[in-house]
Chain A
Amino acid sequence: MQIKVLGTGCANCRSTVALIEEAAQAKGIAIEIAKVEDLKEIMSYGVMSTPGVVINGKVVHAGGIPTRDLIDGWLK
């Protein structure tokens, strides 16, 4: 599973990465997580409010730290 977290580097983006890593570990799912901080690349996903989450090339979330339930839903 390839996961990208889009964000210009604020605290919310960092906690989003940490949350996803934690959830994946708890479920024993192997993920490849990357932080995208480049503005042009963030914009190329059509996301305006960060943090945004992209899974396998598809935007699944934008604007705010996702809840644990939401993350668990992605990790299937």
Chain B
Amino acid sequence: MGLAVWIAAYAALEPFADSALALLALTRQTRLGEAVHFFIYDTPKVLLLLTGIVFVMGVIHTFIAPERTRALLSGRRLGLGNVMAATLGIVTPFCSCSAVPLFIGFLSAGVPLGVTFSFLIAAPMVNEIALALLFGLFGWKVAALYLGLGLTVAITAGLVIGRMGMEEHLEDWVRAMQGTQSAAFDPAKPCWDERVASGLAHVKSIVGKVWPYILLGIAVGAAIHGYVPEDFMASIMGKEAPWWSLPAAVAIGVPMYSNAAGIIPIVEALLGKGAALGTVLAFMMSVIALSLPEMIILRKVLKPRLIATFASVVAAGILLVGYVFNALL
């Protein structure tokens, strides 16, 4: 039922935008008309996609509790373990404040350090909101590329950290807990009604929180679409910008802290003014995947050298993604 409504609404987007434009006596040939069309077509489109993706994620969450993920990863070796961990990192539900308990919980169940890092990196890096936005504004190819590269960074970074054998740089009390897991809390298995309810609750909490940011972002994007010269940012962050513009964007993004929703208006504004997609994506990933507050929390369980390694390996991965995007698109 809900699915049918969703598909019908999605199919009606373009005709709806066209007729709304006609009603306002505007045509797409004028600047104002183009800006208005962009706004009334893209807003419902992005919101619909976001609702769809977030709902599916909410349902998937009921299948993959963190306890389940841990059981799946326990005792895995580097390699396949990293691939599984990164994939599970995208779909396992947990809030950022759970990152540390999760980290220790994984280690204590015998999940190798490198595999645990793949999980922890993938989770914020491949973000469902960013995925929906890329899908809506740039098409499925860009969204798929983002997903694939995000996974690649998480897998590779975890492999590198695992190979470096940095267990001695865990805080001592954490190290003592490695592989000592006793019986853990086992959550009840939900039925299908509960799974759908969880999907809807997820939509309510995520979409309910981010829609003003998206609206604002698209409004800014629409205004820019018609008026501000498109190459405004091109010389600093565009494709023909010097090679250092990408590392600079990542360096600015790493200490910054924002969730995906807050960064969206900035991303849209930058793109609208001619910044290259790879540079903007790298900036966005560095803001949401690495942050100063997170490092401070991680300091409780990791010694400084391991934190520094973690941050630089992830930053290097993000840089790589940025260069690949700029080269391909």
Asked whether A and B interact, the reply is yes
Contact between A39 and B101 (Cβ–Cβ < 8 Å)? yes
Q: B65 interface residue, CB < 8 Å from A?
A: yes
Which B174-208 residues have C-beta < 8 A from chain A? 177, 181-185, 187
Q: B161 interface residue, CB < 8 Å from A?
A: no
Q: Is the interface of B mostly helix, strand, loop or mixed?
A: helix
Q: Which of A3-11, A18-26, A27-35 contacts B (4 or more CB under 8 A)?
A: A3-11
Contact between B101 and A49 (Cβ–Cβ < 8 Å)? yes
B residues near A8, Cβ cutoff 8 Å:
97-98, 100-101, 297
A residues near B70, Cβ cutoff 8 Å:
48
Question: Can you spell out 19 A-B residue pairs with CB atoms less than 8 angstroms apart?
Answer: A7-B97, A12-B95, A39-B301, A43-B101, A43-B104, A43-B108, A45-B185, A46-B184, A48-B94, A48-B98, A48-B104, A48-B105, A48-B106, A49-B66, A52-B185, A63-B66, A63-B94, A63-B187, A64-B93
Closest to A13 in B: B97
Total number of B residues with any Cβ neighbor in A under 8 Å = 28
Point out residues on B near A: beta carbons under 8 Å.
65-67, 70, 93-98, 100-102, 104-106, 108, 173, 177, 181-185, 187, 297, 300-301
**Which of A43, A52, A63: most chain B Cβ within 10 A?**
A63
**Which of A10, A43, A48: most chain B Cβ within 10 A?**
A48
C-alpha spacing A59/B105, complex, angstroms: 15
Q: A55 interface residue, CB < 8 Å from B?
A: no
Contact between B94 and A49 (Cβ–Cβ < 8 Å)? yes
C-alpha spacing A45/B181, complex, angstroms: 11
C-alpha spacing A63/B102, complex, angstroms: 10
